[in-house]
Amino acid sequence: MNVSPKPLRFPIWKFLNQRVFDPEHTFYLLPQRYWHFYQCQHLETCWTMQYEPEQESRNS
């Protein structure tokens, strides 16, 4: 059974709540740039997650 991942949706609330005057975080004024940053950040998060294979219980 192949399950396709859900497509990412634009995080409008995170975009609107960016830290504007924080020197440690980059402020993205253009939604396209923020979207690119968000996708890269999401991909890095997925790469760093610990992989745990699914355990199938077989009653034979």
Extents of the domains making up the chain:
12-46
Rounded mean pLDDT, 9-36: 92
Q: Give me the torsion for CA of 27, 9, 43, 2, rounded to 10°.
A: 180
pLDDT value of residue 55: 67
pTM listed for this prediction: 0.66
For residue 48, CA distances in Å to 16, 41, 43, 52, 53 come to: 26, 11, 9, 12, 15
Question: Cα–Cα distance between 32 and 20 in angstroms, integer?
Answer: 17
- Reported as a single tens digit per residue, the pLDDT across 36-54 is 999 999 999 988 887 777 6
- How many contiguous H segments (helices) and E segments (strands) does the chain have? 2, 0
Residue 3 has what DSSP assignment? -
